[in-house]
Structure formats: structure tokens, C-alpha cells
């Protein structure tokens, strides 16, 4: 494939998390580079986090590896071990099924750009959110409470 036309790449903004868990991630933007390249086994996104915005709720995946590389700016990586600052040129990886919940928060005063790379599990992946009453379960149609009860569909 030739060079990716960034202007033609889809942008996904916000999140599909159910309320109230969507609030800290509403202003995130992902340029879907892997989709633009036609990739099906690996997801690649250029994530923009404006000041105060989170990459996600803290989570871990059962079947998908994840890797992040900070392109510009500064973010705080939050894991089970605590918090550490990642600056441009820093990276981190999260093996599937390790149980170490993680996410990024932009606590700086400028935008941060982060390259996200992750495998795509056939049929979808299960994700666990250890700090909140939330699971991602594709067999149950998406977002559920920890007891398996589905969240109502998003309105609007």
C-alpha cells in the first residue's frame, strides 16, 4: 500500500463508554491509521489527548496486547504499580491477560499525541475495568456491569 492519506483517515472522537464513565474520555480523538492502511489484525491509532482528558478508563484486555508511544507532549501512565510520567519518546507495553489495569491521563497544559498499537482479537475482546463497575463482553453485546447485566444502549 502507498503512503496513507492522513486527511482521508477516519477520526473517532469521544468514547462509547456508558455514563458516567464516558466523561473523562469525551474529548479524546483517534486518527484511525490502521484502518486507513487496511489492517485487520492490528489496530493503530494516533491519539490526541487535550489537557485533562483520559485515554480510557483504567483497564486490561484478556486477548489483546497493547503498546503506546508518546509522540509529543506528556501523559501520566496509571497502572497497578502507581503513576509515572511518559514524555515524547517514551513508550510502554501491556501484554494480554496480565491483569495490570492501565490508562493515560493528560495532566499537562498542552495536547499530547500518543501512537497506540494493539492486536485485534477475532470476534472482539473482553476488557476488565478494575476501578469501576464495567466490563466489555462481546458475547453479551458490549458493555456490562460486573454481574453481567448489560448497560442500556446510549441515547443520541
Residues 139-151: tens digit of each pLDDT:
888 999 999 999 9
Q: Which residues contact 69 (CB under 8 A, 6 or more apart)?
A: 90, 91, 114, 115, 117
Q: How far apart are CA 31 and CA 35, in angstroms?
A: 9
Helices (H), the chain: 33-36
Tell me the pLDDT band of 1, cut-offs 50, 70 and 90: low
Residues 10-45: tens digit of each pLDDT:
999 999 999 999 999 999 999 999 999 999 999 999
Count of beta carbons in the 10 Å neighbourhood of residue 81: 9
Predicted local distance difference test score (pLDDT) of residue 116: 98
Q: How far apart are CA 91 and CA 20, in angstroms?
A: 29
Residue 80 counted as domain residue? yes
Residue 62 counted as domain residue? yes
Residues 46-89: tens digit of each pLDDT:
999 999 999 999 999 999 999 999 999 999 999 999 999 999 99
Mean pLDDT of the chain: 95
Domain that holds residue 128: 7-144
* List of E strands, the chain: 11-13, 28-32, 42-49, 60-61, 66-72, 74-79, 82-87, 91-94, 103-105, 112-119, 127-129, 134-137, 142-144
Tell me the pLDDT band of 122, cut-offs 50, 70 and 90: confident
Residue 18 counted as domain residue? yes
Residue 1 counted as domain residue? no
Predicted local distance difference test score (pLDDT) of residue 123: 81
Cell numbers at 100, concatenated: 495490570
Helix (H, G, I), strand (E, B) or coil at 1: coil
Residue 156 counted as domain residue? no
Residue 155 counted as domain residue? no
Domain count, the chain: 1
Counting Cβ atoms within 10 Å, is residue 60 exposed (0-12), middle (13-18) or buried (19+)? buried
For range 92-115, the mean pLDDT:
98
Residue 44 counted as domain residue? yes
Asked if 140 and 148 count as a contact pair (C-beta separation under 8 A), the reply is: yes
CATH of the domain at 13: 2.60.120.10
Residue 24 counted as domain residue? yes
Of all residues in the chain, what percent carry a pLDDT higher than 70?
A: 98
Amino acid at each position: 500500500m502507498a503512503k496513507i492519506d492522513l486527511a482521508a483517515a477516519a477520526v473517532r472522537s469521544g468514547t462509547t463508554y456508558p455514563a458516567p464513565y464516558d466523561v473523562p474520555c469525551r474529548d479524546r480523538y483517534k486518527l484511525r491509521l490502521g484502518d486507513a492502511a487496511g489492517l485487520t489484525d492490528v489496530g493503530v491509532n494516533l491519539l490526541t489527548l487535550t489537557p485533562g482528558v483520559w485515554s480510557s478508563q483504567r483497564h486490561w484486555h484478556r486477548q489483546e496486547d497493547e503498546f503506546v508511544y508518546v509522540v509529543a507532549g506528556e501523559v501520566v501512565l496509571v497502572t497497578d504499580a502507581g503513576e509515572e510520567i511518559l514524555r515524547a519518546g517514551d513508550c510502554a507495553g501491556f501484554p494480554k491477560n496480565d491483569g495490570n489495569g492501565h490508562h493515560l491521563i493528560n495532566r499537562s497544559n498542552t495536547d499530547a499525541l500518543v501512537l497506540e498499537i494493539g492486536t485485534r482479537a477475532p470476534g472482539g475482546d473482553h476488557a476488565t475495568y478494575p476501578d469501576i463497575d464495567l466490563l466489555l463482553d462481546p458475547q453479551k453485546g458490549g458493555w456490562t456491569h460486573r454481574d453481567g447485566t448489560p448497560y442500556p444502549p446510549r441515547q443520541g
